[in-house]
């Protein structure tokens, strides 16, 4: 199986990732458009999807739903313009699931 990697965010922050082979999605900063981009990632069998915190904040429920699946693995990326705290929260949840304890 070919591993495909997606990244979702605004163009100025994620466009450079295309040079590394990522498929970039630049949805409008609206819940419906971001959810549509995530659905496309799922439909096209991406293994990994990075998403900027600002975008993830608007589709937290969808991300939680996808977290129950094996693929795609969703990884939140902090935005240099504002700290939403979602990346740390997400990492903490992963550690608790993996270890059964809050050792972070």
pLDDT in tens, the chain (104 residues): 578 999 999 998 888 899 999 999 999 989 999 999 999 999 999 999 999 999 999 999 999 898 888 889 898 888 777 776 666 666 666 656 656 677 65
pTM of this prediction exceeds 0.85? no
For residue 16, give its domain range. Answer: 5-99
Which alpha helices (H) appear in 1-104, and where do they start and end? 11-14, 31-43, 53-56, 60-67, 86-99
Is residue 39 in a domain? yes
Is 104 part of any domain?
no
What Å distances lie between residue 14 and 19, 29, 56, 68, 69, CA to CA? 10, 14, 14, 26, 25
The span from the first CA to the last CA of the chain, in angstroms, equals: 33
Total domains in the fold of the chain = 1
Give the CATH number for residue 61.
3.40.50.10580
Nearest-angstrom CA–CA distance, 33 and 69:
21
- Token representation of residue 15: 């466009």
């Amino acid at each position: 199986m070919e591993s495909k990697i997606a990244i979702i965010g605004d163009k100025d922050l994620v466009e450079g990732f295309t040079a590394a082979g990522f498929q970039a999605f630049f949805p409008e900063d609206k819940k419906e458009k971001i959810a549509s981009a995530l659905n496309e990632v799922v439909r096209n069998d991406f293994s990994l999807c990075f998403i900027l915190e600002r975008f993830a904040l608007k589709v937290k429920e969808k991300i939680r739903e996808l977290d129950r699946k094996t693929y795609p693995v969703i990884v939140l990326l902090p935005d240099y313009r504002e700290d939403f705290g979602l990346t740390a929260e997400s990492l903490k949840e992963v550690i608790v699931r993996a270890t059964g304890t809050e050792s972070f």
